[in-house]
Amino acid sequence: MSKNTPLPGSYRWLVASRSVAAIFGGYLLAAAWAACMSLWLQKTGMARVDAVSTATMSSFVVHLCAAIWVFAVASTRRAWAGIVLPAALLAALAWLAKAGAGGAA
C-alpha cells in the first residue's frame, strides 16, 4: 500500500471495535474486579475502607491490562471474549460474595 491508499472500511471497523472493547469493556472489567475484590477482601477480615481502596487502586491496573490485551491478541472476537467472559465471572463472584454476606456488604 502506498501512503495515499485509504484503509478499507472493514479494517476501520475492527479498530473501532477494539477501541470500544479497550475503553468500555476495560471499564466494565475493572468495575467488576473492584466490586468482587472489595467484597472478598472484606471476607478475609480487611477493614471495609481498606478493602475498597485496595480494590479500586488495583482496578486501574486491570483496566490497563485489559486495554493492552485487546490490542495484543490476533482476533477481535478473542479480544471481546477476553474482556466479557472474565467480567461476567467476576460479576458472578461479587454477587455470590454479596449474597453470602446477607446483602450487607
Average pLDDT over residues 38-50: 94
Question: 5-30: per-residue pLDDT in tens?
Answer: 877 878 899 999 999 999 999 999 99
Closest-CA residue to 41 (of 32, 53, 31): 53
Within a domain: residue 62?
yes
- Whether 101 and 43 have beta carbons less than 8 Å apart is answered as yes
Is 1 domain-assigned? no
- Domain with 51, as residue range(s), is 22-102
Query: Is the residue at 10 inside a domain?
Result: no
Count the domains in the chain. Answer: 1
All three cell numbers of 23, joined, read 475503553
Q: Is the pLDDT of residue 105 over 50?
A: no
C-beta separation of 90 from 33 below 8 A? yes
Give a yes or no: residue 5 inside a domain.
Answer: no
pTM over the 0.95 mark: no
